Chains A and B, each alone.
Chain A
């Protein structure tokens, strides 16, 4: 069993990558990811992991160098946030198309403008369709666990896709939390050595990233989609393995007190723990409320969602990003679409919360539930607590 330690979550995420003995890290610093970058370089410079650390000159180059290194068959980690993720965006779909299992730790942060370094999900949401597997962590323990799981899922021969692990900037990255750090030999047992399908080496010549004409492009896209859709089986399998070995359970959608619930909140990321307290308080007041937490954003767990909403009459979806001029938040539109063909489906309402680090309190979640229960939401979506 690992040791229980008090550790800043950003540092813990780098420690988790170190336990996976990465070969190359290519990272460009950005708030609030910078402690990840610093700690990864500490680990390499102290010789705790035998790896190359590339101090790239931009995020675009961070992921580009990561692709080059992964192309040689190296186990690669990178990390970014906000504008950095947007700057990388050109390269994100190429990494997945080349089927390179890079792991990216993302410290979620609002995107400019105005410039804002605090947390929301407006960085990862526009990257939704780039063909990466996306995990969302609730707390520091999940960040550590998911980082290790990410390598195993991505490198699985049935998957071969890059994985991003999302942790809320500041709310998680800069928080010292109690974390059970797995032992090296435990991780060694869990995570097999990476055997690449193809690698850039003169002993076995390959051309990677060739030109796809209209006759082949659609097939290439389909194969990526099929790979991503099918990866959910492996994600669930890896999470089962994890539970067996480490005793901590992971599910694509985690339900909290939903057994007899009429209403359920739905969250992604660190807000989940605040929402749990709100559910507990409302339950004490006799409100039949529960909580659904999405841990696996891509591939989207359609079947799990359908199971999870059984019996629920009102589903209060919270989003931490806006789809401007669209149907509301991206999670909301996803959920509504996922439930469209269900014969019995809950009423789905949408609150957009916590933009750019705006506080969302327990009382806030309770208020949302109460108003949604009364059917008081006049708009399709509401930016909670916004002025003007």
Chain B
């Protein structure tokens, strides 16, 4: 193993050098789809599919990605793909897993492991699909769920979801004179997934593509349920310019707003180092129209909260212990 492999951060720094060796050239989510310019989600899906490889079945919740990729009679998917409805991609994915497992056991399909991977946006995962996700993860299916969180219902026109950050302006939480945007803090779904006793939970962003793909590969290997919360910029919904898509994810990390970590059987580990002196949240907020209305006081409140969350995460990184030996037996 070379130094770069030991230290994911240095892989990122030398991405151009290492990328050709590390990343498959095969495309499973191909061009010609109808995503907006600078869409972080479409990019993330492309990378995810590369990391998953061909023995994968994708279940897609209703949302931008389904709309832009599957306009009949075209498809951007070179993987088996199914879309059923908005709230149920985790449930459908659990059925895909159960079906493939039964058929393989009974000798009705080729005897090799096909991974069921369900995906959805923040609305389809954190709100309307929350129950189905909780059920599918709790039941211990051998499946991966990836939430692509761009922090609002972008497909329907930038309405707030439980993934929308505090004070961000959306079309259903506008920055009004009386009420300045979204009034509650963002739901931390990765933590809720950790509370489901999953063998593997991770946060990721396509702004750190190798880190993201490594996590997808790791999750794919897990025999049981795994969850990745992938933070993706949406220039359209964030009122930011399309060329800042990658930069936004990097700023989210460097400010500590969206730390990149993984939780293996309860054991937390930061996967991408954050500078000792984190950048002020202001650096992340200022490039986005959805935060344009924030006052210095409001930015201070956000900074305080980010600091507290960061410390809480560091405590977990330092003190959490792996429960791998206590994993519940998974079904037959």
Contacts and interface: CB of A to CB of B under 8 A. Distances in A.
Nearest to A97: B84
Contacts of A205: 77-81
Nearest to A50: B106
Interface string B136-174: 101100000000000000000000000000000000000
B99 A24 contact: yes
B85 A64 contact: yes
A24 B95 contact: yes
Interface of B: 54-57, 59, 66-67, 70-73, 75, 77-85, 87-88, 90-103, 105-106, 108-110, 114, 116, 131-132, 134-136, 138-139, 331
Interface string A211-227: 11100100000000000
A60 B129 CA distance: 11
Nearest to B53: A202
Label chain B's interface by main secondary structure: mixed
Given A64-B92, A68-B99, 9 more contacts: A54-B139, A64-B85, A67-B82, A70-B95, A74-B103, A91-B84, A200-B80, A201-B80, A207-B77
Given A56-B91, A200-B80, A202-B114, A211 B103 contact: no
A258 to B, nearest CB: 44
Nearest to A90: B85
A245 B146 CA distance: 50
Contacts of A202: 54-57, 79-80, 114
Contacts of B84: 64, 67-68, 91, 94, 98, 209
A65 interface: yes
Given A57-B132, A57-B135, A207-B77, A212 B72 contact: yes
- Interface band, chain A: 35 or more
B303 to A, nearest CB: 38
A211 B70 contact: yes
B72 A211 contact: yes
A76 interface: yes
Contact of A206 (B80, B85, B94): B80
Contacts of B79: 202, 205
Given A64-B91, A68-B59, A200 B96 contact: yes
Contacts of B108: 23, 73
Interface string A178-209: 00000000000000000000011111111111
A213 B68 CA distance: 12
B85 A65 contact: no
Contacts of A74: 98-99, 102-103
B301 to A, nearest CB: 36
